[in-house]
Amino acid sequence: MKLPKKILLLFILLFSVALLLSNKSFEAGLKKLLPNLNISPNTSIPGLTENVRILNEESHIVDIVDKVSPSVVTVGISTTRSTGRMFELDPFNGFRLRPGQEQEVKQDIGSGFIISADGLIVTNKHVVSEAGATYRVITNDDKEFEVKKIYRDPSNDLAILKIEASGLVPVELGDSSKLKVGQFALAIGTALGEFRHTVTTGVISGLGRGITAGSPFESFAEKLDNVIQTDAAINPGNSGGPLVNSAGQVIGVNTAVASDGQNIGFALPINLVKEALDTFNQTGQFARPYLGIRYKTITKDLALLNDVPEGAYVVEVVTGSPAEKANLQEGDIITKIDSTRIAGEDGEVAAIIGKKKVGDTVTVTYWRDSKEATVTVKLQEVSQ
């Protein structure tokens, strides 16, 4: 039996509306009404299928935001600043100089996310770096809390804030080691220190990036390795907020934006945070090992060009560091740490040392004066 075109269009319209309410139940009902209309899971109705797909995607993003937003906070700062001296007109005595006054200034400067119901919050170290300032946290429901303690990670741009609260909603932490370029990413934070709970979406644009990050609010710069690049818009003020995957899990800590590019943002991988949190939960502080060198990577091409081995060229040795105590010197080329050769994907000394613990002993193989030698180094904790 062939249905008139108008009736068929009417049924298709009803189908599109009901699909938003209950895809499966309506499909079964439609098959009973139209037994001759062949509808299968792979059936594609021009225009309708695309609209349904878009609606499903939008609904999913809204669900993610609803899940994560209660755990995202704004970080604010309170400082005392002088208004400066001013001349004012006195009707009887002419102009006189009025002394400056101290004034409390409050400003939203960053973002963060809750990791425990009793008030532990992750943010960036550079967000809470100003000495003598008082910091506060504003939750999604506009409740304000004074930050009681700040724990700063000396070797990464991370900090943990402690507020006196209970019953908070912590985020779910994902696994950044499983990230793939092109997968969905969503960022939430206080954009420009003004627009709280701003949501942006995009994809993972790159992995394993190395950047120098800085703060727009004060003089700050730090070299960060192995960060996530995303085109989900990250603006000043988003620092410390979560980068989220399609399951609503936090996969990174939004940290920096490229000042000379558009839609190029960076986030610290969440696995780095999880490692730091494990140490923090065990010791009540961040304890990270360090070797104590500043270096540049010598690639295979550069090594062939200069007739030297691949490795990490030591640019500077930190005074009092394990490297100095082991007599490593500027100009040395570190070629191997324990059994890991410093070449190719394993060319980052910082990544290798970061997997060690304070007090571990490592064997460093280095190249000096056209000869290879080894030395044993005991790793120390980075001083705050």
CA nearest 70: which of 161, 188, 163, 160?
188
Q: Can you give 323-343 as a three-state secondary structure string?
A: HHHCCCCCCCEEEEECCEECC
Active site residue 369: no
239 a catalytic residue? yes
Which is the catalytic residue, given 108, 111, 126, 155? 126
Phi, psi of 364 (to 5 degrees): -105, 125
Query: What is d(CA 64, CA 13) in angstroms, rounded to the nearest whole number?
Result: 29
Q: Which of 157, 176, 231, 332 is catalytic?
A: 157
Residues 6+ apart with CB under 8 A from 267: 187, 227, 228, 230, 234, 243, 251, 252, 253, 254, 255
SS3 at position 83: coil
> Which residues have C-beta within 8 Å of that of residue 278, sequence separation ≥ 6?
none
Residue of 155, 205, 215, 239 marked catalytic: 239
**Mapping DSSP to helix (H, G, I), strand (E, B) and coil, where does residue 376 land?**
strand
> Could you give the C-alpha distances from 190 to 109, 124, 179, 251, in angstroms and in order?
8, 13, 25, 18
d(CA 384, CA 375): 27
Question: Would you please indicate which residues are annotated as catalytic (active-site) residues?
Answer: 126, 157, 239
